[in-house]
Chain A
C-alpha cells in the first residue's frame, strides 16, 4: 500500500465519521472568528437555542473593520467613526461576552488579523484542524496543519457541533526546488505558482508545498505561500513539519510545555508526506528561475515578472481569455504591451494577512532605509498584522526607518486589503499592494491593485513606479 500524504494523515487523525455518501464529519481543533462572518452564526445559535460545543476551542478578534489610525483607535470600539463598522465590531464583543469566548479586543496587544494571531500566539499548532470564516485561513497550513476557510453556516455548524461536514479533497504537490535569487521572496514564489496553474488550478485539491525552496523558507514565508493557496483555487495549503516549524512554535503563549511539549513534538515529527505517498497531481517549478513578480490585471493569475510587458489581447486566440484580458487592461487603465516598470503607483500598501508579519516589515524597512517615498506617491502605508508584530517592529526601530522614509505607520488590522475601513484607494488609482487579491474594486471603488512582495512595494514607493528590487542601488532586499 502506498504511503500517506501529509493531508491524508491530518484527515485520518480527525475523522469522526465517514458517511456512505462520501461526506464525512471532521473534528475541528481550533476555530478563529472575526466580526464580519460571525454575527449571523451567533444569531443562528440563539434562534435554535444552541450553545457552542467547546468554548475553549474558539478565539476571536476584530480585524476587517477596525480603523488603523492612532487617533481613531484611541477610544476603542466607541471611537470607530463609521457607524456600521462600529456596530459590527461591537456585535462581536457582545457575542463573545455573552457566550464566554476568548476575544482579543480592539486595543488588546494580541489583537490582529485572524491569520496572523493564530500562529503567533500558539493558538494554532501543527497537526490541528483549523477553521475560520475567512478564505485565507489556509495561512495556518504553514504549521503542518489542515486549515481552511468556511462560510457563515459552517461557522455556526462548527460552533454547535465541533465538526465540519467535509468531503476528502484530492492531493496536489507543488514542488519548487533550487535556490531563490536575492530579492526574490515567498510572495514572488506563490505568485509565480498562481501564474502557472491559474486561479482554478487547485480547485478540489489540498495543496502541499514541497521542495528545497520551502525547506529553506522561514515560517513567515511559508505562511505567505499557504495564505495564497486559495488564490490558486485550493481551500487548504500546507507545508510539512521540520525543525523550522518546531523552533517557531516553541515558547508561544498557547504552545504546550514540559512533558506535553515532548509528546507533541514527537507527534508533529510524523507530519510529513511519506516518501512513497502518491499525489493526484504534481506541479514543479524551478525556484532559481523565479523573478520578482507584479500582477497587472484583475485576477491573481494575471501576474508577470517585473521586467515583462503586459499582454496584448490581439495575440490571444481563446475568446473567453481574450475578452478577460481586454476587460482587465481597460479596468486597470493599461495599454497592451506596456512595460510593467512604466506603471506609476499612486499609493502603496504594505500589510494584510499575506505580508504583515515581522519579516515582511523588515524587508520593507531594508529597502526603504536611507530613501524617501517619491513625491508623486500620495500615500504609502505600512500596517502590521498584529499588536505583537507592531511591538516587535518598534523594538527593532523599523517604524522609525519607515517613518523617516515617508511611510505611515499604522495600527494593526486588515486595512486597505479589502478596504472595509477608511483605508481605501480612490477611483482609478494604482496601488502597489502586498495583499492577495487584485479583483475589481477590492481596495476601493475603481481602485487598481498590483500584487507584489513587501520589498517590491517599498521599492515602488521610492521610485514612484514599479522597479525590479534587484536593480535598486544601495539597498539590500
Chain B
C-alpha cells in the first residue's frame, strides 16, 4: 500500500452532500478486472456531457465546463473538499481507486459513509473528518483564493491552511500506523494465524454445523 505521511496540494471542491459511489464512479466502469485506470472516469456523469464507455479514450469527450474539476484553477488538485455523508451507496472499492488514480490523496468532509471510509484506508487515500463549520470555512477560503492549498500532516494529525491555521483530526491508531508505514494488513493479520486456528478449534466444538462443506 502507498504510504501517507505529509501531503500539500491544491484543493478542489465537490460542494454537495451525500455524494454517492455511483456518482464517484458510475457502474459501467466497474466491468474492468483491474484496479487502475479509473481516474479518467471519476465523476464521469458530471465531468463530461456525453455518456462514457469503459475503455474509451476520454481526451476528445465534451467536458462539462460548469463542473469545478474542469476549471483550470483546480487542475492538479490532490485534496478534495466535500460535504456530509461522502461515499454513500455501494461497497465498490472502485470509488477510492478512481479518486486515487485521478490524483487525490485525501478527502475532507464532515462525515463519510462507513464502507467508503474503510475502503479508502486500504488504498492510501486519507478521509479526514472535520467539523461542519470548519468545512464551511474551508469552502469559503477555497472559493475566495485561486491556487488555494492545504497541508496535511498525518503524524501530527493536522490540516494546515495557507494562513497557518491548524485543524486537528481524529484517526484510529491502527489505521494511522498502517498508512504511515504503507503496511499490508493481510500480512499483519496472518501474524495472528495461531489465534485464528485456536478460535476455529474452539468454534468447531461449539458449533460444528458452521464448518460443514458446501458443494
Contact: B119 with A153, CB < 8 Å? Answer: yes
Contact: B208 with A233, CB < 8 Å? Answer: no
What are 23 A-B interface contacts by the 8 Å CB criterion?
A21-B174, A23-B175, A27-B203, A29-B210, A37-B91, A37-B93, A48-B186, A53-B196, A56-B211, A84-B31, A87-B31, A152-B35, A157-B189, A160-B190, A161-B186, A161-B190, A162-B200, A199-B85, A203-B85, A235-B114, A260-B208, A320-B16, A445-B26
Verify if B84 is at the interface (C-beta below 8 Å from A): yes
Q: A203-B85, A420-B30, A445-B26 are in contact. List 15 more A-B contacts (CB 8 A).
A: A16-B192, A27-B199, A27-B200, A39-B34, A43-B33, A82-B31, A84-B54, A88-B31, A133-B93, A149-B115, A151-B92, A154-B118, A161-B196, A256-B209, A437-B20
* Contact segment of A121-129, A212-220, A339-347: A121-129
Q: Given the interface contacts A37-B91, A151-B93, does A263 sit within 8 Å of B122 by beta carbon?
A: no
Contact: B214 with A135, CB < 8 Å? Answer: no
Per-position binary interface string of chain A over residues 119-158, scored 1 when its CB falls under 8 Å from any chain B CB and 0 otherwise:
0010101011000011100000000000001111110110
Interface residues of B in 79-110 (CB under 8 A from A): 83-85, 88-93, 96
Verify if A200 is at the interface (C-beta below 8 Å from B): yes
C-alpha spacing A323/B91, complex, angstroms? 26
Verify if B173 is at the interface (C-beta below 8 Å from A): yes
Contact: A233 with B88, CB < 8 Å? Answer: yes
C-alpha spacing A327/B16, complex, angstroms? 10
Verify if A91 is at the interface (C-beta below 8 Å from B): yes
Verify if B51 is at the interface (C-beta below 8 Å from A): yes
What's the nearest-Cβ distance from chain B to residue A84, in Å? 4
Q: Given the interface contacts A37-B91, A165-B185, does A256 sit within 8 Å of B115 by beta carbon?
A: no
Per-position binary interface string of chain B over residues 186-215, scored 1 when its CB falls under 8 Å from any chain A CB and 0 otherwise:
100110110110011001001111111111
C-alpha spacing A39/B30, complex, angstroms? 11
Verify if B27 is at the interface (C-beta below 8 Å from A): yes
Contact: B115 with A151, CB < 8 Å? Answer: yes
Interface residues of A in 222-278 (CB under 8 A from B): 233, 235, 254, 256, 260-261, 263-264, 267
Q: What chain A residues lie within 8 Å of B26 (beta carbons)?
A: 441, 445
Verify if A299 is at the interface (C-beta below 8 Å from B): yes
Q: What chain A residues lie within 8 Å of B55 (beta carbons)?
A: 84
Verify if A102 is at the interface (C-beta below 8 Å from B): yes
C-alpha spacing A88/B32, complex, angstroms? 7
Q: What chain A residues lie within 8 Å of B153 (beta carbons)?
A: none
Residues on A facing B (Cβ under 8 Å): 16-17, 19, 21-23, 25, 27, 29, 36-37, 39-40, 43, 48, 50, 53, 56, 59, 64-65, 82, 84-85, 87-88, 91, 102, 121, 123, 125, 127-128, 133-135, 149-154, 156-157, 160-163, 165, 167, 199-200, 203-204, 233, 235, 254, 256, 260-261, 263-264, 267, 299, 320, 323-324, 327, 418-420, 437, 439-442, 445
C-alpha spacing A203/B129, complex, angstroms? 14
Contact: B189 with A161, CB < 8 Å? Answer: yes
Closest residue of chain A to B184 (Cβ to Cβ) is A48
Contact: A233 with B114, CB < 8 Å? Answer: yes
Q: What chain B residues lie within 8 Å of A254 (beta carbons)?
A: 212, 214
Per-position binary interface string of chain B over residues 11-26, scored 1 when its CB falls under 8 Å from any chain A CB and 0 otherwise:
0000011101011001
Q: What chain B residues lie within 8 Å of A22 (beta carbons)?
A: 172-174
Verify if B111 is at the interface (C-beta below 8 Å from A): yes
Count, chain B residues at interface, CB 8 A: 63
C-alpha spacing A16/B201, complex, angstroms? 12
When the two chains form the complex, which single residue of A48, A102, A153, A260 contacts B93, counting CB atoms closer than 8 Å?
Answer: A153
Q: What chain B residues lie within 8 Å of A156 (beta carbons)?
A: 186
Contact: B91 with A200, CB < 8 Å? Answer: no
Contact: A134 with B174, CB < 8 Å? Answer: no
Q: What chain A residues lie within 8 Å of B189 (beta carbons)?
A: 25, 157, 160-161, 163, 165
When the two chains form the complex, which single residue of A17, A21, A39, A418 contacts B33, counting CB atoms closer than 8 Å?
Answer: A39
What's the nearest-Cβ distance from chain B to residue A97, in Å? 14
Contact: A25 with B190, CB < 8 Å? Answer: no
Q: What chain A residues lie within 8 Å of B155 (beta carbons)?
A: none
Q: Given the interface contacts A19-B174, A151-B119, does A102 sit within 8 Å of B214 by beta carbon?
A: yes
